[in-house]
Structure 1
Amino acid sequence: MGLLLLIAICIPRFWLVLNANQTGNYGNIGIIMVISALVPFILLSKKGRTKIGITKPASFTWVLYSFLAGILISALMFALGNALYTNTIHNWYVYIGKSYKLATDLNAHDKFIYFLIYATTGMCFSPIGEELFFRGIVHSSFSASLGENKATVMDSLAFAFTHLAHFGIVYIAGRWQFLLIPSVLWVLGMFITSLVFIQCRKKTGSIMGAIASHAGFNLAMIYFIFYHL
């Protein structure tokens, strides 16, 4: 089931993200996130949804810690990219920021408004859609057949390589390029980030921990893109 879900969702998503990077039309990405979020509610019973973590957190303190952990891992990703590649296209946050297609001459007020818009959507769509999918139904499916440790690896590998469409295979100056070393670092970073999200889910006893951590990661990423690149 986990493998079938990855094929059914991640392959179309990978293509849609690459296409969006080329065309600038990201509307379909929102649709795939909604579909990802709905999968557990379509395929699972109430008992099944509870088993994958769609339940009240056991510790709201750990939900806050999870949010802060997401901010921290995002800050580390920013620091690494900035130290190695400064403000070049080889920096993952620079390339993702360019996908926003924002004007370069925004005044402070307009930049803040756009930041709020992107931060709000970034803290809602992908954290909910991806966590219900990856750390929810996919992880639990693999865990049931392979065990928790192997499920953690499979879930994190799928998450990491899916994000290769967001950075690594890049569309620059009208042609596609593959940035080998930056891609390896980015995928490794996403793999470690997934491990953090999984731990946050375990600490809170709920998928809410992973969602909170993912939301913190995206908030920090968008902040760095807007105000430090």
Structure 2
Amino acid sequence: MENELKPFWRTFFSFNWKFGLFLIILFCTPRIVLVLHGNVIGNMQFVGITMLIMAIAPFIFLSKYGRKKIGIKKPTNKRWLIIAFIIGSIFSIFLYFLGELFYGNSYENWYNYIGKSYNIPQRIDEQGRLIMFIISALIAMTFSPFGEELFFRGIVHSSFANSLGNKKASVIDSLAFAIVHISHFGLVFHNQKWEFLPVPTLIWVLSMFIVSLLFYVCRKRSGSILGAILCHLAFNLGMTYCIFYPIIGK
């Protein structure tokens, strides 16, 4: 019988919920710490390293059969790759309008706060802004979508699904994804001190949970992890655009 894990790891683990929980603790704890530190120093370069490690996790732990099982394969429904991109784009723009409606230009607006980590100069011409946007968008469309989807919707989801089924596994991986993103917004570093924003955090976490479920739907419908990656990629592109143009352009 084929096994999802490489021979070395079978000595220590079975491909089940315990392994999934182990991965969440092992990878997400340093990720949260590094993001919080990045908010203090205004630099997220070390977070990119955690994304890279998340991306290679399936290749470290899983056999060829295991990698195929988590969705690293050709899509069976290519139409859903386009749908996935549209879904991600629409949700990111919706989240922009939601933040504007409730919190305007304040730091309680998630996109406003996240935008600070881009270190965009207060005075920047259109050409400079376009160059910064392109660079930031390319980074946002590579590290995070590939790293987080191969990790959360890939190896973590499938390990929980082996024990609990896909529906419960999608709730668990989405919840883990949402909680991790409190480090990006929710527990904020403002005026040289930490502050927790209960209501904005609740909205943000719920939004991250919902979009995470959408990532899984795109993976399932497309028949490949690529569906989730493209939905996530489009979401990040939309978010980056909203930060650089409607928000910075105020």
**Residue correspondence of structure 1 range 33-48 to structure 2 within 5 A:** 33-48=51-66
**Residue correspondence of structure 1 range 159-198 to structure 2 within 5 A:** 159-198=177-216
5+ residue gaps, structure 2: 1-18
Q: 1:139 aligns with which of 139, 154, 157?
A: 157
Paired residue type of 1:67: F
- DSSP-derived class of the 2:123 partner: coil
Q: Does the Cα contact within 8 Å between 2:42 and 2:116 map onto a contact in 1? A: no
Paired residue type of 1:22: V
Q: Say yes or no: does 1:200 pair with 2:218.
A: yes
Partner of 1:209: 227
Paired residue type of 1:121: I
Equivalents in 2 of 1:63, 1:179: separation in Å? 35
**Residue correspondence of structure 1 range 89-100 to structure 2 within 5 A:** 89-100=107-118
* Bigger mean CA offset, 71-80 vs 203-212: 71-80
**Residue correspondence of structure 1 range 61-76 to structure 2 within 5 A:** 61-76=79-94
Equivalents in 2 of 1:186, 1:18: separation in Å? 16
How many equivalent residue pairs? Answer: 229
Identical pairs, percent: 52
Equivalents in 2 of 1:110, 1:63: separation in Å? 32
- DSSP-derived class of the 1:170 partner: strand
Paired residue type of 1:194: S
Partner of 2:9: none
5+ residue gaps, structure 1: none
Cα distance, 1:25 vs structure 2: 2.8
Residue deviations 1:90-124 (CA, integer Å, cap 9, x gap): 00000000111110111001100100000111011
Equivalents in 1 of 2:64, 2:185: separation in Å? 36
Equivalents in 1 of 2:42, 2:105: separation in Å? 21
Q: 1:10 aligns with which of 22, 28, 32?
A: 28
Paired residue type of 1:84: F
Partner of 1:223: 241
Equivalents in 2 of 1:105, 1:25: separation in Å? 19
Equivalents in 2 of 1:77, 1:24: separation in Å? 23
Please, what TM-score do these two structures have when normalized by structure 2?
0.91
Partner of 1:149: 167
- DSSP-derived class of the 1:165 partner: coil
Residue deviations 1:34-87 (CA, integer Å, cap 9, x gap): 000000000001110000000011122211110110001111111111100011
* Bigger mean CA offset, 127-136 vs 73-82: 73-82
Q: What is the RMSD of the two structures over their aligned residues, measured on CA atoms? A: 0.6
Equivalents in 1 of 2:212, 2:243: separation in Å? 21
Partner of 1:106: 124
Task: State the structure with bigger RCO (CA 8 A, min sep 6), 1 or 2.
Answer: 1
Q: 1:125 aligns with which of 143, 161, 173?
A: 143
Equivalents in 2 of 1:81, 1:43: separation in Å? 39
* Bigger mean CA offset, 24-33 vs 183-192: 24-33
- DSSP-derived class of the 2:194 partner: strand
Larger Rg: 2
Cα distance, 1:228 vs structure 2: 0.6
- DSSP-derived class of the 2:108 partner: coil
